[in-house]
Amino acid sequence: AAAAYRGALALDATNTEALACLGASAFYGDQPEVALRYYRRLLALGAHSASLWNNVGLCCFHAAQYDLALAALTRALAIAPDAEAADVWYNVSQVAVGIGDLGLAYQALKVALSMDPGHAEAYVNLVNGAA
């Protein structure tokens, strides 16, 4: 599938679907820096959505760029519809644990659960003391 999307980009370098799919493929292929390049191209093309900023934040987190991760997640929260905000807050908690700020992690999980009381991952991390 990645080859097909690269082919689509060769024909149209502004194909946002191909860029997003290649970014996701690189991220799940444990290449957050490569994924970040695709996501930054999407941003440069004017695509600004909560899910895109969330993905940028996750890429930065997995690339150990924690300050950039929190900045991107903050941007995601600013534009996230309520249906997506709980996931973004959950990701904030993951970054907070990564930088050792357990207070922030706890608060982020509590906010995630207040927005989506059925957010299973947030419950698991809260109960297991990840925050």
First to last CA, the chain: 38
pLDDT in tens, the chain (131 residues): 788 989 998 999 999 999 999 999 999 999 999 999 999 999 999 999 999 999 999 999 999 999 999 999 999 999 999 889 999 999 999 999 999 999 999 999 999 999 999 999 998 998 887 65
Q: In the prediction, which pLDDT does 131 show?
A: 57
3-state secondary structure of 38: helix
Predicted model pTM: 0.89
Q: In the prediction, which pLDDT does 2 show?
A: 83
Q: Of 67, 41, 37, 71, which is closest to residue 53 (Cα–Cα)?
A: 71
Q: Of 91, 84, 77, 82, which is closest to residue 125 (Cα–Cα)?
A: 91
User: In sequence order, which ranges of the chain are alpha helices (DSSP H)?
Assistant: 2-11, 16-28, 32-44, 50-62, 66-79, 82-99, 102-115, 120-127
Distance CA 95, CA 51 (A): 16
Q: In the prediction, which pLDDT does 113 show?
A: 96
Structure tokens at 126: 């809260």
Q: In the prediction, which pLDDT does 82 show?
A: 87
Largest CA distance in the chain: 49
CA distances to 108, 124, 130 from 97, rounded to whole Å, are 10, 14, 7
Q: In the prediction, which pLDDT does 100 show?
A: 95
Residue 4 one-letter amino acid: A
Q: In the prediction, which pLDDT does 128 show?
A: 84
Structure tokens at 81: 């519809």
